[in-house]
Chains A and B, each alone.
Chain A
Amino acid sequence: MNTMTVSRRSFIKVSALAGGGLMLGFKVIARSMEEEATEEGVYSLNAFLKIDSKGIVTIMAPNPEVGQGVKTSLPMLVAEELDVKWEDVVVEQAPLNRSFERQVAGGSGSIRSSWESFRKAGAGAKQLLTEAAAKTWSVNVSECLAENGFVIHKPSGKKLGYGEVAGKASTLTTLAEIKLKDPKDYKIIGTRVRNVDTKNIVTGKSLYGIDTRREGMFYTMVARPTFGKKLKSFDDVETRKVPGVKNVVRWENRVAVLATSTWAAKKGRDALKLEWEDEKLESTIDHQEAFKKLIQQKHDAPKRNDGDVDKSLAGSKKVLESTFEAPFLPHASMEPMNFFADVKDGKAEVYGPTQTPARTRTEIAKALNIFEDNVTVGMSRQGGGFGRRLQADYSVEAAMISSIAKAPVQVIWTREDDMQGGFYRPTGMYRYRAAITDNNELDAWYLIAAASNQPNASRENSFPAGAVPNFRIDSHNLESNITIGPWRAPNHNFIAFAEETFIDEIATELKKDAVALRLELLDRAKNNKFGAVTYDVDKYKAVIKTAAEMGNWGKQGKDGIYKGFGAHFSFGTYVAQVADVSIEAGKVRVHKIYCAVDCGRVINPSGAENQIEGGIIDGIGHALFGELTFEKGVALQKNFNTYKLIRMPDAPLAIEVKFIDTEASPQGLGEPCLPPVIPAITNAIFAATGQRVRRLPVSLMTFS
Chain B
Amino acid sequence: MATYSLNINGKPYPVEAAPDTPLLWVLRDELNLVGTKYGCGVAQCGACTVHLNDTAMRSCSLPVSAVGNKKITTIEGLSEKGDHPLQLAWDEADVPQCGYCQAGQIMTAAALLKHNANPTDKDIDKAMAGNICRCGTYKRIRQAIHLAAQKGGKS
A334 touches B39 (CB 8 A): yes
A615 touches B (CB below 8 Å)? yes
Report A325-339 residues with CB < 8 Å from chain B CB.
Answer: 332-336
A195 touches B (CB below 8 Å)? yes
The contact of A645 among B94, B102, B128, B134, by CB within 8 Å, is: B134
A202 touches B102 (CB 8 A): yes
A478 touches B (CB below 8 Å)? no
> Which residue among A205, A219, A607 has the maximum number of chain B CB atoms within 10 Å of its CB?
A205
What CA separation (Å) do A54 and B25 show in the bound complex? 42
> B1-43, CB under 8 A of A: which get 1 and which 0?
1000000000000000110111001001110111111111110
Given A333-B134, A334-B132, also A640-B45 (CB < 8 A): yes
Residues of A within 8 A of B18 (CB): 243-244, 263-264, 267
The contact of A198 among B34, B96, B136, by CB within 8 Å, is: B96
Residues of A within 8 A of B152 (CB): none
B87 touches A382 (CB 8 A): no
The contact of B135 among A205, A219, A412, A614, by CB within 8 Å, is: A614
B137 touches A (CB below 8 Å)? yes
B91 touches A641 (CB 8 A): no
For B75, the closest partner residue in chain A by CB is: A204
Report B40-85 residues with CB < 8 Å from chain A CB.
Answer: 40-42, 44-45, 47, 74-76, 78, 82
User: How many whole Å from B107's CB to the nearest CB in chain A?
Assistant: 9
A192 touches B (CB below 8 Å)? yes
> B77-114, CB under 8 A of A: which get 1 and which 0?
01000100011001100111111111100100000000
For A607, the closest partner residue in chain B by CB is: B94
What CA separation (Å) do A213 and B41 show in the bound complex? 20
B140 touches A (CB below 8 Å)? yes
A363 touches B (CB below 8 Å)? no
User: How many whole Å from A340's CB to the nearest CB in chain B?
Assistant: 13
User: How many whole Å from B96's CB to the nearest CB in chain A?
Assistant: 5
User: How many whole Å from B93's CB to the nearest CB in chain A?
Assistant: 9
A610 touches B98 (CB 8 A): no
Residues of B within 8 A of A616 (CB): 136
User: How many whole Å from B128's CB to the nearest CB in chain A?
Assistant: 4
> Which residue among A69, A210, A648 has the maximum number of chain B CB atoms within 10 Å of its CB?
A648
A21 touches B (CB below 8 Å)? no
B121 touches A69 (CB 8 A): no
Residues of B within 8 A of A610 (CB): 94, 97, 137, 140
A202 touches B22 (CB 8 A): no
A648 touches B124 (CB 8 A): yes
B102 touches A201 (CB 8 A): yes
A204 touches B74 (CB 8 A): yes
A203 touches B82 (CB 8 A): yes
A206 touches B25 (CB 8 A): no
The contact of B136 among A219, A264, A646, by CB within 8 Å, is: A646
Residues of B within 8 A of A655 (CB): 139
B29 touches A263 (CB 8 A): yes
A568 touches B (CB below 8 Å)? no
What CA separation (Å) do A606 and B92 show in the bound complex? 11
What CA separation (Å) do A382 and B96 show in the bound complex? 12
What CA separation (Å) do A206 and B142 show in the bound complex? 25
| A interface secondary structure, majority | loop
A194 touches B (CB below 8 Å)? yes
User: How many whole Å from B42's CB to the nearest CB in chain A?
Assistant: 5
The contact of B99 among A201, A244, A617, A621, by CB within 8 Å, is: A201
What CA separation (Å) do A213 and B1 show in the bound complex? 22
Residues of A within 8 A of B39 (CB): 334-336, 415, 640
What CA separation (Å) do A199 and B81 show in the bound complex? 10
What CA separation (Å) do A104 and B37 show in the bound complex? 25
User: How many whole Å from A238's CB to the nearest CB in chain B?
Assistant: 15
Residues of A within 8 A of B40 (CB): 415, 639-640
Residues of A within 8 A of B42 (CB): 415, 639-641
B34 touches A204 (CB 8 A): yes
For B142, the closest partner residue in chain A by CB is: A648
B29 touches A648 (CB 8 A): no
What CA separation (Å) do A199 and B41 show in the bound complex? 26
User: How many whole Å from B105's CB to the nearest CB in chain A?
Assistant: 9
A201 touches B103 (CB 8 A): yes
Q: How many residues of A contact B (CB 8 A)?
A: 68
> Which residue among A203, A204, A641 has the maximum number of chain B CB atoms within 10 Å of its CB?
A204
Residues of A within 8 A of B100 (CB): 208, 333-335, 383-384
> Which residue among A201, A262, A412, A621 has the maximum number of chain B CB atoms within 10 Å of its CB?
A201
Report A189-243 residues with CB < 8 Å from chain B CB.
Answer: 192, 194-195, 197-199, 201-208, 210-211, 213, 219, 243
Report A460-475 residues with CB < 8 Å from chain B CB.
Answer: none
What CA separation (Å) do A615 and B138 show in the bound complex? 12
Given A195-B96, A198-B94, A647-B129, also A653-B137 (CB < 8 A): no
What CA separation (Å) do A382 and B21 show in the bound complex? 26
What CA separation (Å) do A386 and B136 show in the bound complex? 12
What CA separation (Å) do A261 and B131 show in the bound complex? 25
For A332, the closest partner residue in chain B by CB is: B134
B94 touches A606 (CB 8 A): yes
Residues of B within 8 A of A219 (CB): 29
User: How many whole Å from B70's CB to the nearest CB in chain A?
Assistant: 20
User: How many whole Å from B1's CB to the nearest CB in chain A?
Assistant: 6
The contact of A202 among B87, B97, B133, B142, by CB within 8 Å, is: B87
A67 touches B (CB below 8 Å)? yes
Residues of B within 8 A of A207 (CB): 99
A618 touches B135 (CB 8 A): yes
B76 touches A204 (CB 8 A): yes
Residues of B within 8 A of A617 (CB): 136-139
Residues of A within 8 A of B22 (CB): 263
Residues of A within 8 A of B29 (CB): 219, 261-263
A613 touches B (CB below 8 Å)? yes
What CA separation (Å) do A620 and B136 show in the bound complex? 10
B41 touches A415 (CB 8 A): yes
What CA separation (Å) do A22 and B90 show in the bound complex? 35
A170 touches B (CB below 8 Å)? no
A374 touches B (CB below 8 Å)? no
Residues of A within 8 A of B101 (CB): 334, 383
Residues of A within 8 A of B98 (CB): 65-67, 333-335, 381-385
For B89, the closest partner residue in chain A by CB is: A202
> Which residue among A219, A386, A645 has the maximum number of chain B CB atoms within 10 Å of its CB?
A645
What CA separation (Å) do A471 and B98 show in the bound complex? 41
What CA separation (Å) do A73 and B37 show in the bound complex? 26
For B18, the closest partner residue in chain A by CB is: A243
> A337-348, CB under 8 A of B: which get 1 and which 0?
000000000000
A414 touches B (CB below 8 Å)? yes
A261 touches B134 (CB 8 A): no
B99 touches A381 (CB 8 A): yes
Closest 10 pairs (CB-CB, A-B): A204-B35, A383-B100, A617-B136, A67-B98, A204-B75, A67-B97, A201-B99, A640-B44, A651-B138, A614-B136
Sample (18) of A-B pairs whose CB atoms are under 8 Å apart: A195-B99, A199-B91, A201-B103, A202-B90, A202-B102, A204-B74, A205-B35, A207-B99, A211-B28, A261-B17, A263-B17, A334-B134, A613-B139, A614-B97, A616-B136, A645-B132, A647-B130, A651-B136
Using CB atoms and an 8 Å cutoff, list the residues of chain A in contact with chain B.
65-69, 192, 194-195, 197-199, 201-208, 210-211, 213, 219, 243-244, 261-264, 267, 332-336, 381-386, 412, 414-415, 606-607, 610-611, 613-618, 621, 639-641, 645-649, 651-655
